[in-house]
Chains A and B, each alone.
Chain A
C-alpha cells in the first residue's frame, strides 16, 4: 500500500462521493424546512439528461447552468404541489421521480435527441448528433495545494464541480447553523405554526428550500454525467438519488457530516472492485455494497429515540404539510 495507492483510492472516492454530496446538500435544506423531496432521483436524472444535451450543443458551461435551471424548475413544480396545494409529499415526490426518469429517456431517445440538438444548434456535425458520450469536464489541479501528499490528490486535483461541492457544503453549514436565515429555515421545519406566528413566511421559506434542493439534485446529475462518466444510457443515475436520500439521514441533516457520509458511500463503490482483486469480496460483492445501508439503518434506529433526535435536531415536522388554521 504505497502513498500513490492511497492517493488514488481517495481521489476516486471523492469523485464518486461528490454525486451524493451535491444531491444531499439541497435535500438537507428542504428537509430542514420540513419538506421531503422524494423527487430527488427524477430531478437528478433530468439534470444528467440536460447536461448531456447542452454539453453536446453548447459546451460545459451551458450544460451546468441549464441543468441548474431545469432542476430549479422541477423543485418549483414540487413546491407548488406540496407547499401550496399541500399534497402528500411522498406520493408527489415519487411521481416527480417517475416523471424525471420517463422524460429524460424521452428527450434523449436517438431521434428526438437529434431533433432537439439540431434546434439548439443547427451547425452540429453528424457524429455529434448520433453520439452517446460527451466531453468530460477537465480536471483543474490547484497549484501548490495539489502537491500536498494525500490531501492534494484527495481534494485539490478535481474538476470544478467537486470544488464547488466542498465550498458549498461549508457555506451551507454556516448559513444553516450560524445565521438567522438558517435559524428561520430550521424553525419552519421544527414548528411551522410557531414560526408563522412570529412573522416568518413559512410557504416562502419552504418553496425556496425545495427549489434549492431541485437545483442541487440536478447539478448532482450533471456532475455524474459530464464530471464522472460521460456516457448516456437510460436511467443513467441508477437509483443514486435514493442513496442521497439515505445519506441525508445518515448525515443527520448536517451539511458537514454529509461530506463524510458521501465519501463513505463513494468509498464503498470505489473499493468494491479493488477488494475483489485482493481476493476479498469477490465471493460476496453484495456484502460490501450493503454496508452503507446498514450504517444508515443503524443511524435511523439511533435517532429514532426522542432525546437523541432532539439533540441532533431532526426536523420535527418533516413531511407534514403546513396549513394556517384560519
Chain B
C-alpha cells in the first residue's frame, strides 16, 4: 500500500522524459555502482520531495547493473553534487566554536572532493531563528543539514519530522532516531573531551609546584563540570603519586562561552588569589594561555593548554598540551552516508580512538599522542613535562583508544573511590561512569574548593 502511494507520487513529480534523461545520463556517463546510487538519488532528492528510497530502487534495478562493468573510471557529473547545509550559532571569522565547525566543514569537503559536494553555511543564527535557517537550507536543496548548537536541538527535530526526505545531524544534543526521541532521519553527534582533560590533568599534576590548579569555566553545565572533574582527577593522580599529597583545585566561572577579557580577569584571580600555577579552561579563545604566557615572561611559572585548536603560538612557553577537535571526520561520515544512501541514525560521542586510522593501543614509546588523528586528539606535549609523566600520559592515551582505561573509575583516582565535595562516594571500586552519569554530571570532585553554582 505504502509502496504504491510512493510510486504514484514519484510518477506525478517526474515526467518520463525527465526520468529518462537522468537514467540516460547515468548510462552514458558509465558510473560506478555507488556513484549511480548516490549521484542519482542525490539529484532526485535535490529537485523534488519524492522519497529517495523508492527512486534508488527503481534506478538500481533497471539501469546500473547493466552498465557497471563497462567503464569504471568516470566521476559523478557536476549537476549531481551532494548539497550540505550548516547552521552555526556564532560567527565563523573568530577563533571559537563556529570557527571550529567551519574548519571541519572545509576538511570534510576537501576529503569528500570539492567537485562532489556543495556546502553552504548560515552563521550567527540566534536560537529563535534556527527554524527559518533550516527551511531556507531545505529550499536551497540541501540533502544533509547540520546544526551545531545545543539550543538548535528541538527546532532540528521538528524539521526532521517535517522534511522526512532530508537528513539532519545535530551537534551536542541528545535527540536522534538512535536514541528514540526523534525521527530516524536525525542523528546526534559530539566530539567529547573529558578523556583529554584527564590527560591535561596528568600533565598539570606533573609540573605544578604549588600543588594548586585552577579552571576557568564557561557555564556550570554537565559538559563543563565533567571536564573540570576529569582535569582535577588527572591532576590529583599525578600530584599525589609525586608528593603523596592531594591536589587543591579552584574554579572561577565567567558565564560566557566567548569572553577573552573575562577569562583574563578570572585567570589572574586564580593565579593571584589562590596561587594556582596550572590553568585549564573552557572558553573559546586562548585568553587564559595568553595570561599564563605573560606570567612566564615576568618570570613566574604558570602553565596552560590548547582548547579546540592548536594554540601554541599564543603561549609558546606556557603551553603544556591540550585538547584539539577536528569535526571533519564526523561530517565526512555523514556525507558518505547520504551520498551512498546508506543513512543510519546514530548518536555518537566521538572520543579518543574514534575515526582514528589505527584503533589499537600502541606501546607508550610509539604512541601517537600529540599528533593530529581522529576527531579529538592531544596537542603536542611540552618537554617540561617530566619524561616518565609523558610516558604515563601516552600510555593512558593509547589505552583509551580501546576504552580500556576510563578516567571516571577508581583506576583514574589511584585506586581510591571518587567522592564528591560532600564526601559522598560517586564511583566506587569496579564501577565506571556510564553515558547517563557523564551526561548529567552535577557534582564536583572532592579536591575542588568552590561549590558548584546552582
Contact = CB atoms under 8 A, between A and B. Distances in A.
Say which size band chain A's interface belongs to. 35 or more
9 contacts: A105-B91, A131-B313, A132-B95, A136-B294, A229-B260, A277-B269, A282-B451, A284-B453, A285-B253
Contacts, number: 89
Contact of B95 (A5, A109, A233, A282): A233
A282 B453 contact: yes
B265 A233 contact: no
Interface residues of B, number: 36
B266 A110 contact: no
A282 B453 CA distance: 6
Given A229-B261, A233-B285, A234-B94, A277 B273 contact: yes
B252 to A, nearest CB: 5
A133 B289 CA distance: 12
A66 interface: no
A273 B266 contact: yes
Nearest to B259: A238
Contacts of B286: 133, 231
A132 B265 CA distance: 19
A273 B265 contact: yes
B250 A277 contact: yes
Residue of B264, B269, B274 with most chain A CB atoms under a 10 A cut-off: B269
A8 B272 contact: yes
Contact of B451 (A8, A105, A238, A279): A279
B450 interface: yes
Given A229-B264, A273-B268, A284-B453, 16 more contacts: A5-B272, A16-B265, A105-B91, A105-B93, A132-B95, A224-B261, A229-B290, A231-B95, A233-B96, A233-B258, A233-B260, A234-B91, A235-B91, A273-B265, A277-B270, A277-B450
A274 B262 CA distance: 12
Nearest to B214: A277
Interface string A110-129: 10000000000000000100
A235 B93 CA distance: 11
B190 interface: no
Interface in B27-74: none
A236 B287 CA distance: 13
Contacts of A8: 272
A304 B266 CA distance: 37
Contacts of A283: 451, 453-454
B254 interface: yes
B450 A276 contact: yes
Interface in B268-287: 268-270, 272-274, 284-287
Nearest to A235: B91
Contacts of B95: 132, 231, 233
B107 interface: no
B180 to A, nearest CB: 37
Given A131-B313, A279-B450, A274 B273 contact: yes
A282 B95 CA distance: 27
Nearest to B276: A277
B443 to A, nearest CB: 15
Given A127-B313, A231-B286, A269-B265, A108 B450 contact: no
A283 B259 CA distance: 20
Interface string A264-282: 0000011011101111001
